[in-house]
Amino acid sequence: MTERLRYPKANPGAYRAMAAMQAHVDASGLEHPLLELVKLRASYLNGCAFCVDMHTKDARAAGPRDPGPWPPTIAAAGAPPYTR
């Protein structure tokens, strides 16, 4: 298995910009569960299985209740819960 890219070290300026954007979004007044669902949707669109898995867990933890099983997507095919 290859090591994941360490974004802060690879491009510190871009990482600072992303952190500033996240701080702005966090201060927007939107509810935390909604923000987690937006991140999950972005991960689906990007096709990043790692991020889909991470944001699914975060959205479930932030949500008011557990909606039961969430449908897997093509993006999630490589995520741990969906591997064979």
Nearest to 48 by CA among 80, 72, 75: 75
The alpha carbon dihedral of 75, 80, 81, 82 has a sign of: positive
For 15, counting Cβ atoms within 10 Å of its Cβ (0-12 exposed, 13-18 middle, 19+ buried), the class is middle
CA distances to 9, 12, 53, 60 from 65, in Å: 37, 37, 18, 8
- What is residue 72's predicted lDDT score, i.e. its pLDDT? 56
User: pTM for the full model?
Assistant: 0.65
pLDDT tens digits, one per residue of 37-76? 888 888 888 888 888 888 888 988 887 766 666 655 555 5
Q: pLDDT confidence of 28, banded at 50, 70, 90? A: very high
Task: Give the span between the Cα atoms of 24 and 57, in whole angstroms.
Answer: 23
